[in-house]
């Protein structure tokens, strides 16, 4: 038995669950999750995963906390303005749960460092705000055979799916990057803060389910919701033989950084 009394108490509501129990909690404590981006999605995901006792949380983000972030990126507080986001997040995580080891990487997730960063983790959460990063995360995870949760939010809408090796990937449904400016970014279109929270916590739940090995993951289906109407919709899709990265004849065999203007926030 490895849990001390405080831990038993801290995680008691997990241990009570038949699908988690002590062994599930031990898995969580031994798990390593990488969160790419500590913004709207990464912030709630990080908070919940830290509280859940995920043993190692990797957080990577090259940005500093900006005033416009505070409306939804709930891991950052007003006194953190101008602080590196990963530093701010690391401090909060330590306050929530000292059991959690945080690898804070103040950098962008790019082709040259992706594989190296990924390799130590069991699960990846895509909390990024731009398509080049989303496709890069997909390609890197497919190549490294790592499961990951995709998430995207805009205005009042959200969408998420989970990839595990061997099942459909993000490119199976979205073949390639949309043309520049075809899709507005958060800074252009706006976002209701709570939407990011809804989606980030779905992603955290997927990560935890994967870790304990219970339930049905969002694989081969895309979950979408419109929070203005508060309607959820699921679209089923399959692994595509002609997929550029996970298909039978992949044309993407090495990572590259796609060029597209990223969210304006970052360029400020």
Partner 1 sequence: MTAPFRFYQSAPTLIAEQDQFEKDVKEFTAGNIHPVKFKGIRVAHGVYEQRQEHTYMIRIRCAAGGITPQQLKKVAELGDKYGGGEVHFTTRQEVQVHEVLIQDVLKVIRGLNEVGLSSRGGGGNTIRNILTSPLSGVEKGEAFDVDPYAIALTTRMIHEADSWNLPRKFKISLSNSAEDTGYTQVTCLGFVAKINDKGEQGFEVYTAGGMGAKPMVGRQLYDFIPENKVYQVTKAMKIMFDKNGNRRSKYSNRIKFLWKKLDRDEFVRLFEEEYNKIKDDSSLDLVLPDLKNEAKADISISPETVTGEAFELWKKRYVEAQKQDGLVAIKLPLRLGDIYKEDADVLCDVLAEFGENVIRCDRAQNMRLRNIPEAYIGNIYNAIQKMKMHLSDIPAFIGNMINCTGASTCKLGICLPRGLSDAIKDRLVESKLNLDNIPEFKLNMSGCPNTCGMHHVADLGFFGKIGRKEGEMYPAYNVLAGATVGAGITKYAVRQGDIASHHVPDFVHDFLENYIEEREDYDNYHAYLEDGGIDLIKSLCEKYKQVPLLEEDPGFYKDHGARRRMRLDDMGTAECSAGMFDMINVDKRFIDSFSKALEEGNEEENLFKILFHSSRMLLVTRGLDSKTETQAFELFGKHFVQTALVDERYGDVVTLGKLGVKAELPKHKDLILELAGDIQALYKKMDDSLRFNVAPKEASTAEAASEVKKKDYRGVACPMNFVKTKIELEPMGSGQKLEILLDDGEPINNVPNSVKLEGHKVLEKEQNKEGYWRVLIEKK
| Residue whose structure tokens are 């830290």 | 50
Q: Give the shortest CB-62-to-partner 1 separation in angstroms.
A: 13
Q: Binding residue for partner 1 (CB under 8 A) from 68, 112, 165, 193?
A: 112
| Interaction between residue 10 and partner 1 (CB under 8 A) | no
Q: Give the shortest CB-46-to-partner 1 separation in angstroms.
A: 18
| Interaction between residue 78 and partner 1 (CB under 8 A) | no
Q: Binding residue for partner 1 (CB under 8 A) from 71, 113, 187, 201?
A: 113
Distance CA 190, CA 192 (A): 7
Q: Give the shortest CB-172-to-partner 1 separation in angstroms.
A: 20
Q: Give the shortest CB-12-to-partner 1 separation in angstroms.
A: 4
Binding residues for partner 1, rule CB under 8 A, total: 27
| Interaction between residue 30 and partner 1 (CB under 8 A) | yes
Distance CA 40, CA 69 (A): 8
Asked if 155 and 261 count as a contact pair (C-beta separation under 8 A), the reply is no
| Interaction between residue 241 and partner 1 (CB under 8 A) | no
| Interaction between residue 219 and partner 1 (CB under 8 A) | no
| Interaction between residue 116 and partner 1 (CB under 8 A) | yes
Question: What is the Rg, in whole angstroms, of the alpha carbon atoms belonging to the chain?
Answer: 18
């Amino acid at each position: 038995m490895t849990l001390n009394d405080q831990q038993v108490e801290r995680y008691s509501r997990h241990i009570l669950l038949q699908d988690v129990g002590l062994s599930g909690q031990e898995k969580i404590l031994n798990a390593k999750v990488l969160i790419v981006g500590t913004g709207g999605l990464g912030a709630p995901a990080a908070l919940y995963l830290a509280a859940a006792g995920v043993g190692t949380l990797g957080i990577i983000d090259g940005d500093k906390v900006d005033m416009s972030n505070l409306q939804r990126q709930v891991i950052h507080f007003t006194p953190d303005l101008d602080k590196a986001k990963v530093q701010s997040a690391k401090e909060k995580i330590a306050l929530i749960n000292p059991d959690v080891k945080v690898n804070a990487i103040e950098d962008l997730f790019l082709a040259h460092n992706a594989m190296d960063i990924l390799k130590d983790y069991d699960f990846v959460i895509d909390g990024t705000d731009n398509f080049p990063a989303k496709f890069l995360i997909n390609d890197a995870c497919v190549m490294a055979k790592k499961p990951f949760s995709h998430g995207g939010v805009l205005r009042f809408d959200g969408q998420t799916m989970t990839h595990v090796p061997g099942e459909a990937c993000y490119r199976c449904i979205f073949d390639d990057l949309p043309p520049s400016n075809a899709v507005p970014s958060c800074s252009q279109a706006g976002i209701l803060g709570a939407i990011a929270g809804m989606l980030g916590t779905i992603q955290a739940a997927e990560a935890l389910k994967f870790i304990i090995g219970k339930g049905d993951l969002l694989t081969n289906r895309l979950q979408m919701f419109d929070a203005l109407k508060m309607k959820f919709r699921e679209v089923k899709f399959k692994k595509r033989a002609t997929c550029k990265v996970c298909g039978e004849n992949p044309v993407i065999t090495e990572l590259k950084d796609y060029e597209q203007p990223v969210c304006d926030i970052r360029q400020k």
